[in-house]
Structures are given as structure tokens and as C-alpha cells.
Amino acid sequence: MIKLAPSILSADFSRLAEQVSLIEQGGADYVHMDVMDGAFVPNITFGGLVVQSMAGRTSLPFDIHLMIEHPEQRLQDFITPQTEFITVHQEACTHLHRVVQQIKSLGVKAGVAINPATPVSALEYILADVDMVLVMSVNPGFGGQKFIPSAMVKISELDEIRKSEELDFVIEVDGGVSLDNARALEAVGTDILVAGSAVFKAEDVPERVRQFKKL
Ligand code: DX5
Ligand code: ZN
């Protein structure tokens, strides 16, 4: 069954813990946390302090998406007992191989994200080392944008490579995910859907999570 990682970017930040308990009630699999620095992406969100403060407030594992420059300088800030994945952007890492090893040495799983204009081939020599590939289906920085269809092609490409080379990374998709495209995303090989506005802007958040999980 496909997993769901609701992104708190679209949640009400004045009551974050309550909002996360709503997705937990609905049966979400992860909490997706979007860290933005105003440099790699035009927006600023939150850093390690907020992530640390959420540890123990939910039993869901954390899926940390770093949209920051020099992530290698900040990895430790995002380590909590609940951190399962830390994902960095291929475009933000000059020494991607080293950063991936650093993440793993901290005892968590390592993910690499690619922007809409970055080809899957840019990951050729790192795929064997990563636990997750995050395919961005919008330009990172904001919630509520329109899904860019070429992400589908990239996901099936990754799924084929994974099968032919017997690799075991999971494929996550992030941006413009809705109930309308979730099934198609699963069909091309997605393991984890990230959904921000489609979950947190719903009238009934736990019910929306259940709808995703039922697909
Ligand atoms: C965008 C973030 C996403 C964002 C997705 O840069 O990485 O996780 O929350 O939001 P929606 O689902 O609204 O497109
Ligand atoms: Zn994200």
C-alpha cells in the first residue's frame, strides 16, 4: 500500500502539534517537514528547533526535506529519535556522495531530491547509496502549486532502474499531489506521496488522510 507523508508546510503553525495529531488519527505514515532557508529556495520556513520541539509530540516518524544550501553543516540539528529520513537536494550539494554518507553515519536514512529540471541521470552514481529518491513535481519553495507532469516520467525511469539494478531505494513524490493523481503516481512506482495543501486545507483532515490511504 502506498504511504502518505503529509507536509506541515500547509498546516496551521500556531498549533502544529494538534495539526500533526490530526494526520496521525487519519493513519498517515510520516510527517513531512519542509526546511527552507530563503537562499536555495525563495521562502523561509523553520529549522532544527521546531523539528526538535515536535519530537515526542507524535509517534509518527519524521521525513525531513532540506531545501537549504550547505545542508552538511546542519544535519545534526534534525536528528531526533523520530527522524527516519533526511533528504538533501542534488542541486544543493557539491559533494553529494559525502553528504549522503554523513547522513547515514548519523543513524538515519538518506534521501536525495531532484528539482523538476534535473534529470534522473544526475543520480546515476549515487542511487546505490541512497535510501530514498524524492522527485519534486513542483519547483520547491511553496505549497499549493500545480503538478508538473514530467515527474511521472522520472518516477517510472527510477522504478525501472531500481528493478534492473536490484536497488532498494524508495521513491517519493512531492508537489501538487492530490486525490486525483495519487493512483497514477502509485501505478508508475511511487512508494510515498507527500501532500501539503491536499491534506491540511481539507475540511476534515483525518478523513482526507483516510481517503488517500484507501486509494
Ligand atoms: C514544496 C514542498 C512541499 C509542499 C507541497 O517545496 O517541498 O512538501 O509542502 O505542497 P503541496 O502538496 O500543496 O503541493
Ligand atoms: Zn517537501
pLDDT over 90 percentage in the chain: 99
Residue 122: per-residue pLDDT: 98
From residue 110, alpha-carbon distances to 12, 24, 184, 206 in Å are 28, 23, 26, 28
Mean pLDDT of 65-94: 98
- List the grid coordinates of 2: 502506498
Residue 5: per-residue pLDDT: 99
Q: Are 120 and 158 in contact (CB under 8 A)?
A: yes
Ligand nearest to the CA of 8: 1
pLDDT over 70 percentage in the chain: 100
Mean pLDDT of 26-51: 98
Ligand 1 site-directed mutation target among 13, 174, 199, 201, most atoms within 8 Å of CB: 174
Residue 124: per-residue pLDDT: 98
- Mean pLDDT, all residues of the chain: 98
pLDDT of 7 higher than 90? yes
pLDDT of 1 higher than 90? no
How far, in Å, from the CA of 176 to the mean position of ligand 1? 7
Where would I find the beta strands (DSSP E) of 137-191?
170-174
From residue 27, alpha-carbon distances to 195, 202, 210 in Å are 14, 15, 7
Quick check: is 34 catalytic? Answer: yes
pLDDT digits (tens, 9 = 90+) for 98-157: 999 999 999 999 999 999 999 999 999 999 999 999 999 999 999 999 999 999 999 999
Q: Are 132 and 172 in contact (CB under 8 A)?
A: yes
What is the C-alpha separation between 35 and 175, in angstroms, rounded?
A: 15
Q: Which sign, positive or negative, has the C-alpha torsion 155, 30, 23, 78?
A: negative
pLDDT digits (tens, 9 = 90+) for 152-187: 999 999 999 999 999 999 999 999 999 999 999 999
Quickly state the pLDDT bin for 33 (edges 50, 70, 90). very high
How far, in Å, from the CA of 197 to the mean position of ligand 1? 7
